Structure 1
Amino acid sequence: MATLLHLDSSVSPTSASASRSVTETFRKAWEEQHPEGTVIYRDLSAEPVPHITADAHSAGFADPATHTPEQAAAFAERVRLIEELEQADAVLIGAPMYNFTIPSTLKAWLDNVILMGRTAGETPSAKGTPVTVVASRGGSYAPGTPRESFEYVQNYLTAVLAGGLGLDLDFIVPELTMAPYNPAMAELVPLFEASRERALQEAATKAKALAERLAA
């Protein structure tokens, strides 16, 4: 049975969140293909994982036999998150852009699961696992736009997820999500609506194709 690890990090509920509505569409399409499968869901906004601490960080570079009680407890939490990643057949991440980058809750999860010599390094333990990131943003940071140079979500996650963890990375990018709420962006509402519909269609199509690929 296939296992999907689904992470959301938007602070908004699904009704008001572009990234959550798209990940929900992806997940439902996935579940239709894998009705007997498993979905491990983490809402990183509602239940944040611990930010990395000195004990959690240093324990990753030390022999477990030498861990202090504090290091052992902190490292056990990291291992739990790492094992969820390693055991997943596919990963789905909602990553809205906040102040030009990812939410701190998602960064905390990454800091916990990136472990040199295990998930990162010469032979990453989850290498090749497909990961779909829904990278929503209030404006547009696409190539050729005035704010292209401020795009630190896709650039960063490509470096970390593909370059660092060796995952098979794909993006869905709903943009201009602030257009319905910002009067200065009113003329961009049709472009936002088109982007939203395209993202929802991509989510359903890509989830189905990925599920079929893993089942083959």
Structure 2
Amino acid sequence: MTTILHIDSSARPGRSDQKQHGSQSRRLSAKFIELWRTQRPDDEIIYRDVGASPPKPVTGDWVHAAFTKPEQREDWMHDALAQSDTLVDELLRADVIVAGVPMYNFGMPAQMKAWLDNIVRVGRTFGFDRTRDGVPYWPMVTGNKSIVALSSRGDYGYGPDGRIAHLNFVEGALFTPLEYIGITDQYGAAIEYDEFADNRTRQSIADAEGEVANIVDRLIAKHRTENAA
């Protein structure tokens, strides 16, 4: 069985195909899950809506607790890390992470950044030893997990080699820290022209949903092969 961690981070409730002014990224992530369930209805889906219920941001107490050895932590330190523990446990259970991540002011929503900051954690998802020869950091997340970033943006040309690709700080800002902790199998699709609301928007939606279907097929084949090995 494959486990999927489904994350939505849009501040807009509802999907654009079901609600006026609904979220395009929620539409794509829901499409992914629907297509996956069509082929693999018994797989486990963990759902986390950080757009509606944002994780607490990292604080000084959080950092202090995270860099304290577990056996030396005081009760308040365990409390400070409780939500992070839950989010990390969900991540570690998952084989595929599918994240709806809209573009806000050229980057990801603050809610998604808060999730990232809680799961990139010393001793849980990456190791650190300043006495280690060479690079003192190393990834701790194993299992060949896959990350799928499903985005939406108001303008167009943010994709690789696009007219304003240099202004896109969404996928890179998500993929880089996940790669740092060991998640290197990366996929993505995005709806553009959202603010235009014309035929270009509709075509972009169709193209993005087609790419989502391709990603689902590729990942099902990949994880079927791995589970059979």
Superposition map of 1:68-83 within 5 A: 68-83=74-89
Superposition map of 1:50-129 within 5 A: 50-120=56-126, 121-126=137-142, 128-129=144-145
Q: Which of residues 168, 174, 178 is equivalent to 1:157?
A: 174
Say yes or no: does 1:207 pair with 2:216: yes
Secondary structure at 1:173 match in 2: strand
Corresponding residue for residue 15 of structure 2: 14
C-alpha distance in structure 2 between counterparts of 1:163 and 1:62, whole Å:
21
Matched to 2:47, the amino acid is Y
8 A Cα contact 2:147 2:183, kept in partner: no
How high is the sequence identity, in percent, across the aligned residues?
A: 31
Superposition map of 1:20-39 within 5 A: 20-39=26-45
Looking at secondary structure, tell me which structure has more helix per residue. 1
TM-score under structure 1 normalisation? Answer: 0.88
1:183-209 CA-to-partner distances (Å, cap 9, x unmatched) read: xxxxxx322221110111111231133
Matched to 2:94, the amino acid is A
Structure 2 unaligned blocks of 5 or more: 17-21, 127-136
Superposition map of 1:159-198 within 5 A: 159-180=176-197, 189-198=198-207
* Runs of 4+ with deviation above 4 angstroms: 143-146
8 A Cα contact 1:7 1:41, kept in partner: yes
Secondary structure at 1:131 match in 2: strand
TM-score under structure 2 normalisation? Answer: 0.84
Matched to 2:138, the amino acid is E
Change (3 A) 1:135 1:165: farther
Q: Which of residues 44, 49, 64 is equivalent to 1:43?
A: 49
RMSD: 1.8
8 A Cα contact 1:127 1:167, kept in partner: no
Corresponding residue for residue 183 of structure 1: none
What is the total number of aligned residue pairs between the two structures? 208
1:92-117 CA-to-partner distances (Å, cap 9, x unmatched) read: 00010001100000000000000134
Q: Could you tell me how far 1:145 is from its partner in structure 2?
A: 4.6
Change (3 A) 1:126 1:168: same
